[in-house]
Structure 1
Amino acid sequence: MVFEGLLALAKVLGVFGCMLAGMRLKLGIGPSILAGGFLLALLFGMGPGAWAEAAVSAALTWQCLSLAAIVVLILMLSHVLERTGQSLRLMDALAGFLPSRRLRLIFFPVLIGLLPMPGGAAFSAPMVRQTGTPLGVTEDEMSLVNYWFRHVWELCWPLYPGIIMTAGLLGLPLSTVVVHTCAGSLAFALLGWWFILRPMGPRLKALDQTAQDQTPPARDPLLALRLGAPLIVAIAGSFLLEAAVASSFPEASFEVGIIAALAVAIVVAFVQNRAGRDFLVQSLLQKELRQTLVLVAAIFAFNQVLTEASVVRELVKLGGDAALLAAAVFVPLLVGMVAGITMAFVGASYPLILGLLDQLGLRDQALAWAVLALVSGFTGVMASPLHICFVMTCQYFGVDPARSWRKVMAPCLGLFVFGCAWFAVLRAL
């Protein structure tokens, strides 16, 4: 059984290598992932016909279609704010409230991170560029800032599906889970500062010192609110509409509220900038929209192969059903890295972990083991070259995905080490 797990691992790693090679050879991120899914299907016994059927069925699911709609709306809103100069004007209006250059650089990714929006990195990327370019920050550095700080809330924010699913599977109040995971978000932010922001420190600090001799930017709260209205509508509207949908239509998907809020935000942006039909057509004909739709379909096709070819079940054999530590660390880490989605590793590993805890009479330690699995799996998600925010960020800034991926490894390793240490603390308590 262990040999079968090792063989499955070798196949998966080989597929990852092929996908990264395709990206490096400029074959396109979406086509590289689609080809990787096809190769994975062949290696795990699925024929070309079965793969094609799985890819089409995955592309037609509500999850895929809703994600595609969300990402398209995000790109349209970003396009309007960037092309009209509103995001730059908003950054200027906020300058008086954000004296630190480093704070300005991470502000929008952190703000957008409050919204559990798939592909939200595309939303904040133009704002990071408009903030970072005048500061002399490189495209590689901006891509790392945008990717990392976009996810600073994901380990504790109660609107993220992974946190909600964790609480549901454990049968615990959401507040209890958040209290035990919020330290992870703090560690995540500190790791981002140490590995990403700190190396830029001398340049940005010199700019801050130069700015002290200049007249400080004026503070106009009303102007900032007016210019930030589309973002406020998108974020606050998503929260409110998501809650309204959940209370009025319990069986409806939470994405409905996000889609509606983004649509309203786009209308607000168009009205504020008096943009007409021609601008709308330009937004819809963006090359990035077509590339993103291919990317979303490719990721869902890849995940469908994971399910239908029983890839996760084969990987689980590597640790053995009796190996609790492997189930709580290795399985979520690997599934998170393969799938690039938090809910994938939560759904794949938590039932196994809880079953093992019941067998071993350790159910009272379920929260500690769940937190370990959550941090391990999220480390895998952040280290995944299939993470949609990662691929969209690399695509927007035009950076080499393989080079960016290597730079993410150090903070990811730090996050994993923190998860192990925090697990030891929780068990002792």
Structure 2
Amino acid sequence: MLTFASLIPLAKVIAAFAAMLVCIRLRINLAISIIIGSFILVLAFGHGPLFWLQAAGQGLMYEQTLFLAGIVGAIMLLSDVLEKTAQAERLMESLVGYLHRPRIALAFFPALIGLLPMPGGAVFSAPLVKRVADPMDLDAPLLSVINYWFRHVWELAWPLYPGVILASSLANVPLVEIALFLSPSPILALVLGWFFYLRRVPKTRRAAVKESITASLKELSLSSAPPAPSLRRALYEGLPILIGIGGALGLEGMIAVLFPGMPYEWGVIAALVAAVVCSLIQNGKSIGFMLPLLFSKRLGSMLLVIAAIFIFKETLTQTHAVEEIAKVASGSAALIFTTVFMPFFVGAVAGINVAFVGASFPLFLGMLDTLGMQDQTMRYVALGMFSGMSGVLVSPIHLCFILTCQYFGADLAKAWRLLVVPCMLVLGFGFLYFMMLG
């Protein structure tokens, strides 16, 4: 039976989350917002600053924290090298000639950019999407949402995204298993994108679309000639991505079979480093080319977020907040709340996957351990990922959404209304998938 006293631990954690969300809403740095939330959590459970410092130090020294920082750092470096050397653009150019249908062309460019975890990457594909759409007379809100939606179709299952890697690390589940469990998400996103957005695109002459794409490539200084299909060139320019993904999954499986006691993260890091080296060699760049990237503000900010997440995770453990919350209504009500609503709201407020995974996953994963439900970890991880992603996509402060609407001159409110129903269907599918896994 629920009593006021039994709800107090849950109220304390909600207060810490509320403080975190307010900080994010006030545009305080995400890492600092999470750290503030962890400090308030410690105070709420009757501990002081020294207790927080001890918990923070332990959280930062875990092997899991260091591995995750290495993986995310390598991914960010790979993304930066591909961007700074224009290799990502050349990959795009080599694939343009395969685009024969106007509707597919509209979705292709943001989906291709979506394979790389670039913050605000939707703006990178926006010029090409605009050129494709020039002969189609589309309104700005629809064009903005097409570019925004297809930019994120891979985000729940693509192993290069920090949110997926963080979920794998926190759940202590191999990355390949996470990717396989969440593999229906890209199919769902593509189907919803086609039904709600691409179906509204009028039919257009293929020649007109091809001329627009060629003009856009010329404007971006990529090509002055009509784009021609080149699978060989596409494979060459995409080799670092193939090495990073294929190598990570392959080495992870090899380590599990041949060296069962060895952390699988070593295989992921080795593959990503090989991918970075491959790109440097292809572009004739030396190791010195990477030095400015290693000390970039973007990389430092992401590593700080990783550190803040594990500090928060450790404060949850040290304050025994998870055990206290698990007692509420035998744990069932609190478990559903933390798995569905917290990822959704954090995702909606922060607008990025790392935020909802880092803020809410340590809580419900800890509750699963406390309740002896470790065998259901993947069900709840999948539910949490779909819930959080629906919040991220519908977030009005999502960086990609804001920048895309600005680029196309779209009214934010009109564009946002186009997102609500598909995002709620993503959340609904998460519930359905959760039941199917059970």
TM-score higher than 0.5: yes
Map of 2:14 onto structure 1: 13
Distance 1:292 1:61 in 2: 18
Are the equivalent residues in 2 in contact too, given 1:59–1:297 (CA < 8 A)? yes
Distance 1:246 1:151 in 2: 23
Map of 2:313 onto structure 1: 303
The alpha-carbon distance between structure 1 residues 108 and 47, as it changes in their structure 2 partners (threshold 3 A), is: same
Q: Counterpart of 2:24 in structure 1: which amino acid? A: M
CA drift of 1:41 comes to 1.7
2:234 is aligned with 1:234: no
* Segment of structure 1 superposing worse, 417-426 or 233-242: 417-426
Map of 1:130 onto structure 2: 124
Distance 1:167 1:192 in 2: 32
The alpha-carbon distance between structure 1 residues 283 and 314, as it changes in their structure 2 partners (threshold 3 A), is: same
Q: Counterpart of 1:340 in structure 2: which amino acid? A: V
Q: Counterpart of 2:291 in structure 1: which amino acid? A: V
- Aligned length in residues: 381
Distance 2:57 2:144 in 1: 35
Are the equivalent residues in 2 in contact too, given 1:106–1:146 (CA < 8 A)? yes
Are the equivalent residues in 2 in contact too, given 1:238–1:257 (CA < 8 A)? yes
CA drift of 1:234 comes to 0.6
Are the equivalent residues in 2 in contact too, given 1:315–1:331 (CA < 8 A)? no
Distance 1:46 1:200 in 2: 57
Distance 2:65 2:419 in 1: 27
Q: Provide TM-score, normalisation by structure 2.
A: 0.69
Q: Counterpart of 2:209 in structure 1: which amino acid? A: A
Give the alignment of 1:273-422 within 5 angstroms.
Answer: 273-321=283-331, 326=333, 329-333=336-340, 340=357, 344=362, 347-348=365-366, 350=368, 373-382=380-389, 394=399, 411=422, 413-421=424-432
Q: Counterpart of 2:386 in structure 1: which amino acid? A: T
Distance 2:419 2:371 in 1: 28
Map of 1:151 onto structure 2: 156
> Between the two proteins, what is the percent identity of the paired residues?
28
Distance 1:266 1:422 in 2: 36
RMSD over aligned CA atoms reads 4.6
The alpha-carbon distance between structure 1 residues 309 and 244, as it changes in their structure 2 partners (threshold 3 A), is: same
Q: Provide TM-score, normalisation by structure 1.
A: 0.71
CA drift of 1:304 comes to 1.2
Residues 162-200 of structure 1: CA deviation (Å, up to 9, x unaligned)? 7999999xxxxx8xx979x866664455446567xx289
Are the equivalent residues in 2 in contact too, given 1:81–1:87 (CA < 8 A)? yes
* Segment of structure 1 superposing worse, 76-85 or 182-191: 182-191
Distance 2:78 2:434 in 1: 41
Unaligned runs of 5+ in 2: 131-139, 215-225, 347-355, 406-412
Distance 1:249 1:66 in 2: 17
Give the alignment of 1:38-57 within 5 angstroms.
Answer: 38-57=39-58
2:38 is aligned with 1:37: yes
Are the equivalent residues in 1 in contact too, given 2:252–2:268 (CA < 8 A)? yes
Residues 331-369 of structure 1: CA deviation (Å, up to 9, x unaligned)? 53357567616974774455677769xxxxxxxxx9xx8
Are the equivalent residues in 2 in contact too, given 1:90–1:227 (CA < 8 A)? yes
Are the equivalent residues in 1 in contact too, given 2:156–2:385 (CA < 8 A)? no
